[in-house]
Chains A and B, each alone.
Chain A
Amino acid sequence: MTLKLPIYMDNHATTPVDPRVVEAMLPYFTEIFGNAASRSHSFGWTAEKAVELARDQVGALIGASGKEIVWTSGATESDNLAIKGAAEFHKDRGNHIITAQTEHKAVLDTCKRLEKEGFDVTYLPVEHDGRVNPATVRAAMTDKTILVSIMLANNEIGTVNPIEEIGAVVKERGAIFHVDAVQGVGKIPFDVNAARVDLASLSAHKMYGPKGIGALYVRRKPRVRITAQIDGGGHERGMRSGTLNVPSIVGFGKAAELSRTEMASEAKRLFALRERLREGIQSRVTDTYINGSMEHRLPGNLNISFAYVEGEGMLMGLKDVAVSSGSACTSASLEPSYVLRAVGVEEEMAHTSIRFGLGRFNTEEEVDYVIDLVVGKVNKLREISPLYEMAQQGIDLKSIQWAAH
């Protein structure tokens, strides 16, 4: 077998840069190095031309015009700019913001900061399948609601929100609709007009582009106003100052174009790989549980709990495979994943979850290798698991008085 180890299956964390993207970027480090803001010579003009092409490429991926794209350093900055910028600009209209408990920290912690500044934030619960119910958005909206921020697809469990329905609900009240679209864009269809989105955060490194470059879509018709968070030379129509990172922008544009033209076939291929992985594991391992909706899910995502086997112990066994776990132990905090908790996964099961993120460069051979490895490790770790032993003896683990945290 010509399998190369280690195998990367953590494509929600980041993706490798597509070689075609690298190729597109290279000239912009050396020959075409101009500052896109330089108006007095051809170095600046050619750089600017490349940036404008990339704007159109990124815009086309989400049904927007290139003029509606604001470059940022990544989706963390985009989320901050969208939420803080909209809150600050529209604070005279109200002080209420709605988001969901399963959002990325870039959204949640931004909202927490706004709470300290006097804004009211509602953190909506989600359904057991991991999705935001549009009816809960409607019920939470008040006359004071200025902004609703809901993600397109979740980074842990890959569940896809009914974003068009939510957009319609938000517009009933005329609030601003921000979507953290990072995980879904380029993987599933997303159209800012169909979903009536005002602001959308994108990141290149989740779609085979370079790290450290992102974008915020800002609707022009009708014009959505936000307050800039970084002041300076007034780049990006005053919304985000700073000399543009031309090579990365070119790479982002190329990555967006590739995603747009290849999305349909890639989604089909990834779905088949994911199902191969899921069936391969579930047909050979008992007591597994899928976290989040199977129906409304990114094609490359599998988030699965292996009862009686702790996630980090499992990751250690899968050392030739890059995946991640919702177990506490993988982070500095000792709490298991807040996303899994919000979905109603019990703490003990949250500790046993593994996230597989399949991507453009994964192969069937890799999937088959991973299935064998996972099955072997689960069996080995269950052999040494006191919980598995007790379950086999018919002991109800819930009947035991465990020590507190």
Chain B
Amino acid sequence: MAYSDKVIEHYENPRNVGSFDKDDPNVGTGLVGAPACGDVMKLQLKINDQGIIEDAKFKTFGCGSAIASSSLATEWVKGMSIDQAMGIKNTQIVEELNLPPVKIHCSVLAEDAIKGAIADYKAKRQNAAAQVAAPSAPQKAAGGATQKATT
């Protein structure tokens, strides 16, 4: 299969590879895909108190298109607000990277990873707020919030 120049470029020089501390309250982590399907993406966002994405990192197990999609996603989200990042559509990634039809699922995963990371971040914030309001609140409440955010 022939890859577009942009996919090759991202594959050869992936942007923002790495990890943040997933327990940092300002970090949201999205982990999507499955090893059995041949793609797993981990995308992490560092979000400041103003809700701006200051930094992003990724690691991806997958084909060149999956690596390029996640690399591109980290590039795009930097400097965006949470709402702007939530608005990123997989079709934009498809267009930018010239992905063929069989690779569209890679762009869908990248979109899901962004949304997953933001949901994780929001859940953490809600959890922290709940802890401040009622320090003895059981952990369960936090679990509920996470689930709500991810659905």
Contacts and interface: CB of A to CB of B under 8 A. Distances in A.
A332 B34 contact: no
B38 interface: yes
B64 interface: yes
B19 A402 contact: no
A346 B61 contact: no
A354 interface: no
Contact of B32 (A351, A388, A403): A403
A334 B108 CA distance: 15
B52 interface: no
B35 A387 contact: yes
Interface in A319-335: 327-330, 332, 334
B17 to A, nearest CB: 5
Interface in B73-128: 102, 105
Contacts of A387: 35, 40, 61
Nearest to B14: A384
Interface residues of A, number: 31
A330 B64 CA distance: 11
Interface residues of B, number: 30
A337 to B, nearest CB: 11
A405 B35 contact: no
Interface in A385-405: 385-389, 397, 402-405
Contact of A310 (B31, B32, B42, B63): B63
11 contacts: A308-B61, A313-B11, A313-B64, A317-B11, A327-B38, A334-B37, A347-B37, A384-B17, A384-B67, A386-B59, A387-B35
Interface of B: 1, 3, 8, 11, 14, 17, 19, 31-42, 58-64, 66-67, 102, 105
Interface of A: 308-313, 316-317, 327-330, 332, 334, 336, 346-348, 351, 383-389, 397, 402-405
